[in-house]
Amino acid sequence: MQPIKDIIICGGTHGNELTGVYLAKKHNWLLANPAAAALCRRYLDRDLNRCFALSELKSRKNSSGELTRAKEINLLLGKKGTKTAPDLILDIHNTTANMGITLILSSKDPALLAISKVIATEFKDVRIYLQPESREESPYLGTVAKRDICIEAGPQPHGTLNAELFFKVERIVFRFLELVEAWNNGILPKIGNKIEVFAEIRNIDYPRDAKGNITAMVHPALQGRDFCKLKAGMPVFMGFDGKEILWQGKVCYPAFINEAAYYENGVAMALTLPAKDA
Ligand SMILES: [Zn+2]
């Protein structure tokens, strides 16, 4: 196994997710979207974290705003899909959902899974989330590197700071770097399979009328219950008239419940299941 040496830490890929913005400023890490951060907005033109598919990075079409920035970052870091790409990117995000610290992996990379499991035993409220991606066409910034991890910290309203989460994420990043070194030296503590890994299945949208207007909200009984078991018959949404909408699908464990930034994407929550072989 090749050692993981060339590591990029970045924040502010979304300009209003202030844990990453201010950690990047404090430590001189990569501030991914400074233009959006200056205005405390998620993005200006389009979501920077949806601009890193290889076909987009390579396209010669005139680009503006975030796509130009994505191409700039790709060149700066060493080009996605090539030998000069960094070994690892750690990208720091916030979520308004009650997800604690969620370490999102885009593949079952053995090194990152093993390191994340150690982190999950050492820190409270840490979960591992598997979001398998086809690396080449994945639009996420982290996929510029050979492997990546996204650190989601919540619940935190976008555009605000939370001192507890700020220092917790900072500690986790530095511990992560130590554990990468331990991995490189073959001395990473072994944790086994007692840490649960949640694998993303699909997203679900809010109930909507024929015009696309949302007709129900996340049910109060589900709000804040990220990574808890959802079974058929349990309430999921509540209409503006107070009528309950009950879950009719299979057992799952929702996350990103009521994430503010996903309203525009038609996502009310992401459904996950414990991964069997992670
Ligand atoms: Zn984000």
pLDDT for 99 beyond 80: yes
Residues 143 and 245 in one domain: no
Instruction: Clarify whether residues 151 and 260 are in a common domain.
Output: no
Q: How far apart are CA 101 and CA 98, in angstroms?
A: 9
In this prediction, residue 132 has a pLDDT band, given cuts at 50, 70 and 90, of confident
Q: 258 C-alpha vs ligand 1 centroid, how far in Å?
A: 14
Q: Is residue 208 part of a domain?
A: yes
Our count of domains for the chain comes to 2
Q: For the residues of 44-97, what is the DSSP string, one character each?
A: SSS-GGG---HHHHH--S---HHHHHHHHHHHHHT-TTSTTS-SEEEEEEE-SS
pLDDT band at 84 (very low <50, low <70, confident <90, very high): very high
pLDDT at 63 over 90: no
Tell me which amino acid residue 190 is: K
Q: State the first-to-last Cα distance of the chain, in angstroms, to the nearest integer.
A: 18
Strand partners, 128: 103, 197
* pTM as predicted: 0.96
| pLDDT class of 2 with cuts at 50, 70, 90 | confident
Q: Is the pLDDT of residue 222 over 90?
A: yes
pLDDT tens-place string over residues 150-174: 999 999 999 999 999 999 999 999 9
Average pLDDT for 229-244: 98
**According to the model, what pLDDT value does residue 61 have?**
80
Of 152, 184, 216, at which residue does a domain stop?
184
Report CA(17)–ligand 1 centroid distance (Å): 6
- Between the CA of 104 and the centroid of ligand 1 the distance, in Å, is 12
Q: Are both 70 and 146 inside the same structural domain?
A: yes
| Distance from the alpha carbon of residue 223 to the mean position of ligand 1, in angstroms | 20
Tell me the chain's radius of gyration from C-alpha atoms.
19
Average pLDDT, the chain: 96
Q: Does any domain span residue 192?
A: no
- Specify if 2 maps to a domain: no
What is the residue range of 229's domain?
200-274
- Ligand 1 centroid distance, CA of 166 (Å): 15
Would residue 191 count as lying in a domain?
no
Query: 152 CA distance to ligand 1 centroid (A)?
Result: 7
| Residue 214 sits in the same domain as residue 176 | no
Query: What is the CA(13)–ligand 1 centre distance, in A?
Result: 6
For 177-212, how does the pLDDT look when each residue is reduced to its tens digit (9 = 90+)?
999 999 999 999 988 778 899 999 999 999 999 999
- Ligand 1 center–CA 189 separation, angstroms: 30
- Candidates 259, 261, 56, 255; CA nearest to 141 is 56
Give, as residue ranges, everything with CB less than 5 Å from ion ligand 1: 14, 17, 93
CATH code of the domain in which 70 resides: 3.40.630.10
Q: Which of 45, 183, 175, 199 has the alpha carbon at shortest distance from 123?
A: 175
- Say which CATH number the domain at 254 has: 2.20.25.160
For residues 251 and 86, give the distance between their C-alpha atoms in angstroms, rounded to a whole number: 38
Q: Which of 154, 184, 214 is the last residue in one of the domains?
A: 184
